[in-house]
Amino acid sequence: MTTVLHVTDLTVDFGSATAVDGVGFELAAGDTLGIVGESGSGKSTTALALLRMLPPGGRISAGSVRLAGQDLATLPEEALRALRGRRIAMVFQDPMSSLNPVLTIGRQLDEALRAHGTGLRKAQRHARAAELLDLVGIPDAAGRLRDHPHQFSGGQRQRIMIALALAHDAEVLVADEPTTALDPTVQQQILRLLTRINRETGTALVVISHDLGVITQTCRRLLVMRDGRVVERGATAEVLSNPQHPYTRELLAAVPRLDEPSRAAANSTPGEQPLLTVRGLGKTYGTRRRSVTALHGVDLDLHPGETLGLVGESGSGKSTLARALVGAHAPSAGSIRFRGQELGRRPRREVQLVFQDPYSSLNPRMTAGQIIAEPLIAHGLGDRERRAARVAELLGQVGLDPATAGRHPRAFSGGQRQRLGIARALAPEPSVLICDEPVSALDVSVQAQVIDLLARLQRELGLAILFIAHDLAVVRQVSHRIAVMHGGRIVETGPADRVVTAPEHPYTAELLAAVPRLEPALAGPADSARATALASNRSTA
């Protein structure tokens, strides 16, 4: 097979810091390569460096990226532009922000087509644009060229991103976290689309992801990156079954497996009497004429010391339910009772919320101590001295140094910030913790730590936890019971292991089928892939 992309000793510096350190690989026509790593590993920087599109401050300080006989690392800007999108194309992570909101999809495809003067006339470009949309599976492709990005769903927007990248039949397609913002079933569709394109058009695929499952499903070979270096490389099946580097082993161990039974029962035993009782909860948004019903008659019981996992896709009503439970907005129908008492509109000290995004949910201008003390002030608990003592106690409880109370959120890592968020929720001594996607923004290794923390807090404080997440493997691991939401309704509730192993509702089965497994699905071409992997092992660090 002919080599289309040959990366040697690629090194990227930001000032004096080295983000990518001597990365090398070879990519043959039609090949697939995954680059896996956690945040800060340099995988996304590597992807951007392939097209020399580094953010300001970054530069390729050594090495080469050879494509079509030219070195992209040293090519003049105009010559480089002629290659981008034509010989090497890129699909970005966030399809919401990566498409221009004020231009129609037709215009954006047209821009991609005319970027490399292929001599197509307007009508021809229009036809080609419709063909591309059709290729990525957008129904009524020709009719939808006039629509703007906001008229498409998240999954469709990612398809459009892929269509843009395919405009000129590039030899290499680089996909940087192509499914991270998407629901599992949509993720599955996008991964299948990428695989299909790789097989049908022979475009070589480079997939960058933090998710080993995604890489396993799409790539025959993979690189494991850490701190800017490649620590392990090889055929995907080989690396998964027989990891050589300790870091790869660590990474594999931290990935929650869907087939592992729940650990919740071993952690704590739920009480008999429900703590939180939700009956017939409904929530409708909008005016009477144009309304959206986000919740339909939701029934829910949460017992002390119990973790109830809540899964469902975006728009299923999970977050609306969470907000209703903490009293952030009033439900349109039904009741929420705490220990048999109807909860009114006053702030609910007993029910606290942990947010998804540890970056935007902490005020950057407040210190950690002020952030944690805020709910104490809101509920009128303690005086200045007692609050300071409580803050120190809470910081210790979530595994942070009490001496860090004076620091601002930016001084903490993502995982530490989520610990701060948990400490803030624990401050007014709640008995119910609502965790809305508490680990989905975190790396797997950090994710495992935060999950352990929540389990320990439950054991020590007897907390009832509503654990909202889209990752079924994590949910199974931490939950006693799982409730599945779909279209504003709870379609299934049951013991965690039973829901995963013997789902009763077809939608649950559909969700389960969409989870990428760590068993390599690509059995056929594995042998040839291994040969290529061995061939390129020369450049292993």
Partner 1 sequence: MRTFLLKRLPSALLVLLLASFAVFLILRLIPGDPATSLAGPDASPETVAAIRSQLGLDQPLFSQYAGWLGRLLSGDIGPSYAIGGQVADLIGDGLGATTQLTLGALLLVVLIALPLAVVGATTRSRPVAAVVQAVTTGVLAVPPFVTGVLLVLVFAVSLGLLPAGGHESLLREPDLAVQYLAMPAVCLALPSAAVLARYLKDGIERALAEDYVRTATALGVSRRRIVWRHALPNALPSAITVLGLQVGQLIAGAVLVERIFAWPGLGQLIEQGVIRRDYPVVQDLLLLVVAVYVTVQLLTDLAYTWLDPRIRWE
Of 11 and 44, which CB lies nearer to partner 1 in the complex structure?
Answer: 44
Query: What does the block give as tokens for 470?
Result: 């889209």
Note whether 23 and 46 are within 8 A (CB).
Answer: yes
112 binds partner 1 (CB under 8 A): yes
116 binds partner 1 (CB under 8 A): yes
Among 40, 62, 111, 334, binds partner 1 (CB under 8 A): 111
Q: Provide the residue count of the chain.
A: 541
Q: Which helix (H) or strand (E) holds 527?
A: helix 526-535
Question: What is residue 453's three-state secondary structure?
Answer: helix
**How far is residue 223's CA from residue 236's CA, in Å, rounded to a whole number?**
9
435 binds partner 1 (CB under 8 A): no
**How far is residue 277's CA from residue 274's CA, in Å, rounded to a whole number?**
7
Which residues in 71-90 contact partner 1 (CB under 8 A)? 81-86, 89-90
101 binds partner 1 (CB under 8 A): yes
Closest approach of partner 1 to the CB of residue 112, in Å: 5
Minimal CA–CA distance to 48: which of 90, 78, 1, 3? 90
Among 17, 118, 143, 150, binds partner 1 (CB under 8 A): 150
Which residues in 162-181 contact partner 1 (CB under 8 A)? 164-165, 167
H and E: helices and strands count for the chain: 20, 20
* Terminal C-alpha separation, the chain: 24
Among 9, 17, 53, 74, binds partner 1 (CB under 8 A): 53
151 binds partner 1 (CB under 8 A): yes
Closest approach of partner 1 to the CB of residue 114, in Å: 9
103 binds partner 1 (CB under 8 A): yes
**How far is residue 517's CA from residue 522's CA, in Å, rounded to a whole number?**
12
Note whether 219 and 516 are within 8 A (CB).
Answer: no
Of 10 and 90, which CB lies nearer to partner 1 in the complex structure?
Answer: 90
Among 9, 17, 68, 97, binds partner 1 (CB under 8 A): 97
120 binds partner 1 (CB under 8 A): no
Closest approach of partner 1 to the CB of residue 143, in Å: 16
Starting from the edge strand earliest in sequence, which strands make up the sheet with 204-209, in order?
A: 88-91, 172-176, 204-209, 32-36, 221-226, 229-235
Minimal CA–CA distance to 390: which of 405, 371, 375, 373? 373
242 binds partner 1 (CB under 8 A): no
Among 115, 265, 366, 381, binds partner 1 (CB under 8 A): 115
Contact stretch for partner 1 (CB under 8 A) within 97-105, 294-302, 313-321, 497-505: 97-105
Contact footprint for partner 1 (CB under 8 A):
51, 53, 81-86, 89-90, 92, 94, 97-104, 111-112, 115-116, 148, 150-151, 161, 164-165, 167
